[in-house]
Structure 1
Amino acid sequence: MTENHNSRALNKSLKEYARGIAGGLLFSFPLLYTMEVWWTGFIADPLDLMILVVVTYLLLLGYNRFAGMHPDASWKHVFIDSVEEMGIGLLISFGVLLMLNRIRLSGMGIDEVMGKVIIEAMAVSIGVSIGTAQLGANEEEEKRQKSRERKTKVGFFVLGICGAIIVGGNVAPTEEIVMIAMEAAPGHILAMALVSLLISIIVVFFSDFKGTARRSRNGLLFDMTFDTCVSYITALGVSAFVLWFFGRFDGVSFWVAFQQVVVLGVLSSLGASAGRLLIK
């Protein structure tokens, strides 16, 4: 009996690890193939890397607490799961970059190797966490459904951050964001901001995504205003953070930096609004 129980537990753990690896690759492959991310890893300051690791770990804690594979897990297990996911992210990042010849075991400084691996691994680890929870088998759906009923505004905020990073983070390092921002007129920036708000409203309240209909019937005007503002503020905050991290604010005026945030906010707002509904 004990042997069969241990065998089932091992099999379940292996399946969770497999789903985590699949999720890590699914959500982060674009960044693993992005030259600007490699360059940022090459020039990254150790303090910036430490900040990125801390922020990512806090996001993993929040995601695993509010939408993880084991919604009834204690904080101890949440801490352990988050460490495991970050470790898997580091291994995946190291392996893929080594395969792509972006890092080498000889002839390359340890600082460069660590910088590239850490930056890529942070996005991968979020994908690992999402993949473990979202690509799970049907028997976990009931547990996750019960967890959804206990979601709070804080939970939706955390999930919104994760969604914004997954969607907006894949584009933030590219030169196209800077180019669009510098060439945009004030009218274009205003249109992008309005479209971002419209996206949040449509995704959260006027779509067929799970959980929207029930929430939209109670206090429609308040919920629409509050959730739309939270989604867009979250999107702008995430956009500003990732653009700052990738050095997109260096040597530019406040207006250009602001325009970049709004440009990236179009994508991040989709992630912030849809992410908290889909990433559960």
Structure 2
Amino acid sequence: MENIWEVSPLHRQVKSEGEMTDLYKIEIRDLARAFCGALFLALPLHYTMEMWARARAIPSFMLVVILVAAYLLNVGYCYYSNFKGRPARQVPWLDALESLGVGIVASTITLLLIDQVNAHMSFDVIMSCIALESVPTSFGASLAKSQLSAGNKEDDLTDGWATDKKKILACLLGGLMFAFNVGATAEPIVIATSINYGQLIGIVVFSLLVSYLMVFMTAFEKEKEDEGAVMGPQWAETLICYSVSLLASAALLFMFGYLTPTTPHNLAIPWVVVLGYATTLGGSAGRLII
């Protein structure tokens, strides 16, 4: 298949949606789609005080780590749902950089407009706010096509991957995307410190039940793929994906500075389990739709 990205000048006429169009117009459309998708997914977090506070509290080196991790996650999102229309023009490792760039631009404009970035702030604080807010915004850019259009499964670049690899990656990506909106807030910590052990066990059991029902017992999935060789039967897949969701929850709590290596286990476990409820729901959806 000819790769238009590599060989075509921007003024070249290419076929798009049944019509011949200048390539530069397609590029502008794709970037506009990514920009709108970025804001569609992440705008609520720009209006969240915890995000403003966490941006000021997270060390600079951790923000660099977060941006690197965001880039790698965007690579995964671009494999599943690129903001570019044709597979021939999709290069996930480069497209993820574009997504991150779009996220930075969209977040900068929004933060300026809502006065969370202004001339009275220090350069370090400005960069921290933009960096942290650009993470979910970049996710929205990468997933713009699936958010803002019907999408096309034929465009999925994961064709040929092992089933288990696709499921675990989709669980991780879907969980992080969905739970990011909750992980930044203080509510999971407040909830975790107020519930008892019976409620905590109930959250674990209910999370597993919802995951199982969502993937295996509802009409959300039109066709059941063959079970993967690694994860095995449905109960095993549910447990493995729940474990992935808990790891993603711990990573989010660590990223936002709530969880540290010195956090006592009796505090850390409830925090992870409570946020894991949201991560499990997102991960289950990811296994179906990403």
Specify the alignment match of 1:10 in structure 2. 24
> Which of these residues, 98, 107, 112, is aligned with residue 84 of structure 1?
98
Distance 1:208 1:78 in 2: 31
Specify the alignment match of 2:132 in structure 1. 119
Specify the alignment match of 1:51 in structure 2. 65
**TM-score for the superposition, normalised by structure 1:** 0.87
**Sequence identity (%):** 27
Specify the alignment match of 2:107 in structure 1. 93
> Which of these residues, 170, 173, 180, is aligned with residue 191 of structure 2?
180
Query: Number of residues paired by the alignment?
Result: 272
Indicate the structure with greater helix content: 1
Q: Tell me if the contact between 2:13 and 2:21 (Cα under 8 Å) persists in the aligned partners.
A: yes
Structure of greater relative contact order (alpha carbons < 8 Å, 6+ residues apart): 1
Distance 1:249 1:26 in 2: 29
> Which of these residues, 251, 256, 261, is aligned with residue 246 of structure 1?
256
Distance 1:145 1:108 in 2: 43
Q: Tell me if the contact between 1:27 and 1:166 (Cα under 8 Å) persists in the aligned partners.
A: no
Q: How far 1:215 sits from its partner (Å)?
A: 2.5
Distance 1:152 1:218 in 2: 6
Residues 86/146 of structure 1: CA separation in 2 closer, same or farther (3 Å cut) = closer
> Which of these residues, 116, 122, 128, is aligned with residue 141 of structure 2?
128
Single out whichever of 180-189 and 248-257 deviates more from structure 2. 248-257
Distance 1:218 1:44 in 2: 39
> Which of these residues, 185, 188, 192, is aligned with residue 203 of structure 2?
192
Distance 2:271 2:86 in 1: 37
Deviation string 1:76-128 (CA, Å, 9 cap, x unpaired) is x2221011000000001111111110111x12111000001000101110111
SS in 1 for 2:270: helix
Deviation string 1:131-160 (CA, Å, 9 cap, x unpaired) is 134434x6x625236855756322222222
Deviation string 1:183-238 (CA, Å, 9 cap, x unpaired) is 11100000000011011101111122245x3227899x933123212321121111
SS in 2 for 1:156: helix
Q: How far 1:262 sits from its partner (Å)?
A: 0.4
Specify the alignment match of 2:233 in structure 1. 223
Q: Tell me if the contact between 1:200 and 1:273 (Cα under 8 Å) persists in the aligned partners.
A: yes
> Which of these residues, 143, 167, 178, is aligned with residue 154 of structure 2?
143
Q: Tell me if the contact between 1:43 and 1:112 (Cα under 8 Å) persists in the aligned partners.
A: no
Distance 1:40 1:174 in 2: 9
Opposite residue 225 of structure 2, the aligned amino acid is: R
**TM-score for the superposition, normalised by structure 2:** 0.84
Pair 1:153 & 2:164 matched: yes
Single out whichever of 22-31 and 189-198 deviates more from structure 2. 22-31
Distance 1:70 1:234 in 2: 30
Pair 1:271 & 2:282 matched: yes
Q: Tell me if the contact between 2:38 and 2:137 (Cα under 8 Å) persists in the aligned partners.
A: yes
Q: Tell me if the contact between 2:171 and 2:241 (Cα under 8 Å) persists in the aligned partners.
A: yes
Q: How far 1:4 sits from its partner (Å)?
A: 4.0
